[in-house]
A and B are shown apart, each in its own frame.
Chain A
Amino acid sequence: MPKFQRSSSDSLHLQADVLVLGGGPSAAWAAVAAAESGAKVVLADKGYLGTSGATAPSNTGTWCVPPGDNRHAVVERRWQRTGELADPRWMLRCVDTAYRNLLKLSEWGYPFPSEDDGRLYIANLRGPDYMRFMRRRVLMAGVTVLDHHPALELLSDGDAIVGAAGAARQAGHDWRVDARAVVLATGGCAFRERILGGTGLTGDGYLMAAEAGASLSGMEFTGKYTLAPYGSSLNKGLPFRWASFHREDGSPILGPTGEPLRNGIGVREEEVARALIEGPVYARLDQAEPTLQGWLRQGQPNCFVPYDRAGIDPFTELFRITLRAEGTVRGTGGIDIVSDDCATGVPGLYVAGDAASREIMTGAVSGGGAVNSSWALASGWWAGKGASVHAKRRGGKAFRSTVRPLGQAGLRPAASPRDDIGASEVIDAVRNEVTPLDGNFFRSGVGLEKSRERLESVWREVRDHLRGEGPDRVRAREAASIAAAGRWSVAAALRRTESRGMHRRTDLPGKSPALAHRLVITGVDQFRIAGAPERLAELAS
Chain B
Amino acid sequence: MIEIVSATRCIECDICVKVCPTNVFDATEGGVPVIARQDDCQTCFLCEIYCPTDALYVAEFAEGPTGISEAEVEERHLFGGYARALGWKRGKAGGSEFDPTHRIRVAQ
Cβ of A447 < 8 Å from any Cβ of B? no
A113 touches B42 (CB 8 A): no
Contact assessment for B103 and A309 in the assembled complex, using a CB-CB cutoff below 8 Å:
no
Minimum CB distance partner of B64 in chain A: A231
A300 to B107, CA, bound (A): 14
Q: B44's closest neighbor in chain A, by CB?
A: A57
* Chain B 90-104 interface residues, beta-carbon cutoff 8 Å to A: 93, 95-104
- With A and B bound together, what is the CA distance between A47 and B43 in angstroms? 15
Kindly identify, within residues 185 to 244 of chain A, every residue whose CB is under 8 Å from any CB belonging to chain B.
194-200, 229, 231-233, 238, 241
Cβ of A52 < 8 Å from any Cβ of B?
yes
**Bound: A196/B20 CA distance, A:** 13
Asked if A101 lies at the interface with its beta carbon under 8 angstroms from chain B, I say no
Question: Is there a chain A Cβ closer than 8 Å to B13's Cβ?
Answer: no
A199 touches B62 (CB 8 A): no
| A51 on interface, CB distance cutoff 8 Å | yes
Instruction: Give the shortest distance, in Å, between B72 (CB) and chain A (any CB).
Output: 10
Residues of A within 8 A of B95 (CB): 129
Count the A-B residue pairs with Cβ separation under 8 angstroms: how many? 149
Contact between B99 and A57, CB atoms less than 8 A apart: no
Whether, in the assembled complex, B31 has its beta carbon less than 8 Å from a beta carbon of chain A, the answer is no
Given A128-B46, A129-B96, A199-B22, the answer on whether A232 and B60 have CB atoms closer than 8 Å is yes
The residues of A that contact B108 with a CB separation of less than 8 Å are 238, 241
Is A115 part of the contact surface with B, judged by Cβ < 8 Å?
A: yes
Instruction: Kindly supply a per-residue 1/0 record for chain A positions 114-146, scoring 1 wherever the CB is within 8 Å of any chain B CB and 0 otherwise.
Output: 110000010110101110110000000000000
With contacts A48-B21, A124-B99, A308-B81 known, is A232 near B61, CB below 8 A?
A: yes
Q: Which of A71-79, A176-184, A291-299, A520-528 binds B?
A: A291-299
Cα-based distance from A302 to B95 in the complex (angstroms) = 14
Nearest-neighbour CB distance to chain B for A204, whole angstroms, equals 14
Q: Are A231 and B46 in contact (CB under 8 A)?
A: no
Mark B42-60 against chain A: 1 for CB-CB distance below 8 A, else 0: 1111100110000000011
Question: What are 26 A-B residue pairs whose CB atoms fall within 8 Å in the complex?
Answer: A46-B21, A51-B19, A51-B20, A51-B44, A51-B50, A113-B98, A113-B99, A113-B101, A113-B102, A115-B102, A123-B105, A126-B96, A126-B101, A170-B17, A194-B42, A196-B44, A199-B22, A200-B42, A241-B108, A292-B104, A295-B103, A297-B85, A298-B100, A300-B104, A302-B45, A307-B60
Which A residues have a C-beta under 8 Å from some C-beta of B?
23, 46-48, 50-53, 56-57, 59, 61, 110-115, 121, 123-124, 126, 128-130, 132-133, 147-148, 169-170, 194-200, 229, 231-233, 238, 241, 292, 294-302, 304-310
Known: A238-B108, A305-B60. 20 other contacts (CB 8 A): A57-B45, A59-B99, A61-B105, A113-B99, A124-B102, A126-B101, A128-B88, A231-B61, A231-B63, A233-B42, A241-B108, A294-B100, A298-B99, A299-B99, A300-B104, A301-B86, A305-B45, A306-B60, A309-B59, A310-B60
Q: What 9 pairs between A and B have smallest CB-CB spacing?
A: A47-B21, A301-B85, A57-B44, A233-B43, A299-B101, A306-B60, A194-B62, A199-B42, A233-B62
